[in-house]
Amino acid sequence: MFHKEGYKIIIVTFIIVAAVVITADKIDTAWIKYLLQGIAVVFLILILQFFRNPSRNTPKNDAHVIAPVDGKVVVIEEVFEKEYFKDKRLQVSIFMSPINVHVTRYAISGTVKYSKYHPGKYLVAWHPKASEENERTSVVVENETYGAILYRQVAGALAKRIVNYAEENAAAIQGEDAGFIKFGSRVDLYLPLDTNIKVKLNQTVKGGIDVIAMK
């Protein structure tokens, strides 16, 4: 299964690859022909791999925060969140490489209280200032059991478009599709200070499955 955000790119890529393969077939030098065809096919495979959207069976639990994306936990620290909460929060950041699934999923069920897009730079996703200076979206979801959390989709050096489906006052369902980030990025979670963090630095997590934190 492929994500709907990739349909257009997949179709265009398939047409280009088909044209390259057909054109290269007319080249007399065998190794050049096969090299060009091989590169074209590998490129198509990479595009298909990037836009895959595997089905995830998310166990719903209002007291749990599940991973919103696939990737590696690169930050766990106390910070001052100045956009929405304007107080101290626990930040957990997950870095996605180009080979990770890039679907963003709701970390908790509840109501979307805030959703805002910020234009910005394209620093590498692990840069300390990426969360404040890069293109990003900030979304706050709240439920009665856990409270409010903020997740931030942050563009990276390769990411050229962030897609955010969260709309204010809409219902969020834990594990459901909340957006997509194209080509390398990270997602930051801002959680209450009394949160019980269940992951460690450099741990690899799967979106919609692994528990990041719990009350």
The share of the chain scoring above pLDDT 90, in percent, equals 70
Range list of H helices, 134-189: none
Closest CA relative to residue 207, chosen from 109, 118, 135, 100:
100
- C-beta separation of 47 from 12 below 8 A: no
Question: What is the overall mean pLDDT for the chain?
Answer: 90
Going by pLDDT thresholds of 50, 70 and 90, the confidence category of residue 184 is: low
Model confidence, pTM: 0.86
Task: Give residue 46's pLDDT.
Answer: 87
Residue from 93, 115, 131, 185 carrying the catalytic annotation: 185
Here the tokens at position 147 are 């409270």
Q: Is the pLDDT of residue 183 over 70?
A: no
CATH of the structural domain 64-214, one choice from 2.70.70, 1.20.1330, 2.60.40, 2.30.30 = 2.70.70
Sign for the pseudo-dihedral over CA of 122, 125, 130, 135: positive
Going by pLDDT thresholds of 50, 70 and 90, the confidence category of residue 119 is: confident
Going by pLDDT thresholds of 50, 70 and 90, the confidence category of residue 129 is: low
The residue ranges of every structural domain in the chain are 4-50, 64-214
The reply to whether 185 belongs to the active site is: yes
Q: Is the pLDDT of residue 189 over 70?
A: yes
Letter for the amino acid at 44?
L
